[in-house]
Amino acid sequence: MAEVKVKPEAPDPMDIESRIIELCQQFPHGITDQVIQNDMPHMEAQQRAVAINRLLSMGQLDLLRSSAGLLYRIKDSQNASKMKGSDNQEKLVYQIIEDAGNKGIWSRDIRYKSNLPLTEINKILKNLESKKLIKAVKSVAASKKKVYMLYNLQPDRSVTGGAWYSDQDFESEFVEVLNQQCFKFLQSKAEAARDSKQNPMIQRNSSFASSHEVWKYICELGISKVELSMEDIETILNTLIYDGKVEMTIIAAKEGTVGSVDGQMRLYRAVSPLIQPTGLVRTPCGLCPVFDDCHEGGEISPSNCIYMTEWLEF
């Protein structure tokens, strides 16, 4: 019998591309070159490369690098349609911004990464903004700096400052109010414990409040428009410690108990100050703003000190 020679037909370029796309959809995490080769062993490397390049330029595939080599991943079709109208430079800039995630990226960094001149970058950014693909967010740390991020992303706390900032303004009254409320809560707890007059160990333990309890109290109080987390409450309680009104201890707690983080719990207790205001500040000299200029026989001297005169009139 004569052998039937099967002439290797040059596979249709369109077929290759659709086959590759099918493979990508099968493996949403991405496929390597190896996988494509295994699937279509008769295809030559060059044809494969051409097909992949075409898909990339059409914006249907994403090229990623992984530890095993190059990965090809199907691009989100919605996004793919958006970029149809833009050219390569814009796509590059968009990619860089997307990579920055929700921290955003500064325009100078975009310039470094893309190696494009400043004028081009500005034009592209304006374009993308008008297409509502990206947005600019003012950073709270340096008020002149603007970081760019994707339109639908929520800016990260480090950029907007979190719960204490509303529109780039530090809300000091809000912090003050929270401060006072937390302190009142701890104070009333300590007083209740003191009045209970049981043995001292129990008295002391009951005057403690864990950060979780304080958090629940503040949430129930409802004075905050913004949702506050336990860390936020802990920063407020820390400021009370720095005011010298509250002391903290850390105890080891079982993992399951409410409010424990990594097996520890923080307990806070209201305390009264260690000493009364000292003697020096009860005299005019202790608070005098021109103390260093004062000496006997000068313009400012103890004999003609106006602060002393006022003080003696009390």
Partner 1 sequence: MTQAELRLCSLLLRENFGEIVEKVGNSLLRTGPRPLRLLVGDTGLLPDQVKKALCVLLQHGLARYEPQPRGAVEYEARGERVLRILRYPRYIYTAKTLYGDPGELLVEELLLHGHLPMSSAVARVADRLTETMEGKGKRRHSCDEEEEGEHKAKRQKQEGGSSEPPPDDGIYWQVNLERFHQHFRDQALVSAVASRMDQTSSEVVRTMLRMSEVTTASGASHTQPLSSNEIFRSLPAGYNISKAVLDQYLALLADDPLEFVGKSGDSGGGTYTVNLHKALVSLATATLESIVEERFGSRCARIFRLLLRKKHLEQKQVEDFAMIPAKEAKDMLYRMLSENLVALQEIPKTPDHAPSRTFYLYTVNVMAAARMLLHRCYKSVANLMERRHHEMRENKRLLEKSQRVEAILASMQATGAEAAQLHEVEEMITGPERQQLENLKRNVNKMDASENQVDETIFMLEAFIESTMKRP
Q: Edge to edge, what strands does the sheet with 134-138 contain?
A: 105-106, 146-150, 134-138
- Structure token digits, residue 218: 């503040």
User: Would you say 63 and 72 are in contact if contact means Cβ atoms under 8 Å apart?
Assistant: yes
What are the CA-CA distances from residue 55 to residues 63, 67, 95, 96 (Å)?
Answer: 10, 23, 17, 20
Q: Is the sign of the CA dihedral 51, 57, 60, 66 positive or negative?
A: positive
Nearer to partner 1, 148 or 208 (CB): 208
CB of 276 to partner 1, least distance (A): 8
Nearer to partner 1, 13 or 302 (CB): 302
CB of 291 to partner 1, least distance (A): 7
CB of 298 to partner 1, least distance (A): 12
Nearer to partner 1, 66 or 301 (CB): 301
- Structure token digits, residue 250: 């850390």
User: Would you say 162 and 124 are in contact if contact means Cβ atoms under 8 Å apart?
Assistant: no
Nearer to partner 1, 258 or 287 (CB): 287
User: Would you say 161 and 168 are in contact if contact means Cβ atoms under 8 Å apart?
Assistant: yes
Q: How far is CA 192 from the centre of its chain?
A: 39
Nearer to partner 1, 152 or 198 (CB): 198
Q: Which residue has the tokens 């090809």?
A: 72
CB of 287 to partner 1, least distance (A): 5
CB of 283 to partner 1, least distance (A): 5
Nearer to partner 1, 26 or 229 (CB): 229
- How far is 218 from 230, CA to CA, in rounded Å? 10
Nearer to partner 1, 262 or 313 (CB): 313
CB of 268 to partner 1, least distance (A): 12
Torsion angles phi and psi, residue 100, rounded to 5: -70, -10
CB of 226 to partner 1, least distance (A): 15
SS3 label, residue 199? coil
- Structure token digits, residue 295: 């000496």
Residue ranges that bind partner 1, judged by CB under 8 A: 141, 164, 170, 172, 175, 179, 194, 199-201, 204, 235-236, 238-239, 242-244, 247-249, 271-283, 285-287, 291, 294, 296, 301-303, 305, 308, 312
SS3 label, residue 69? strand
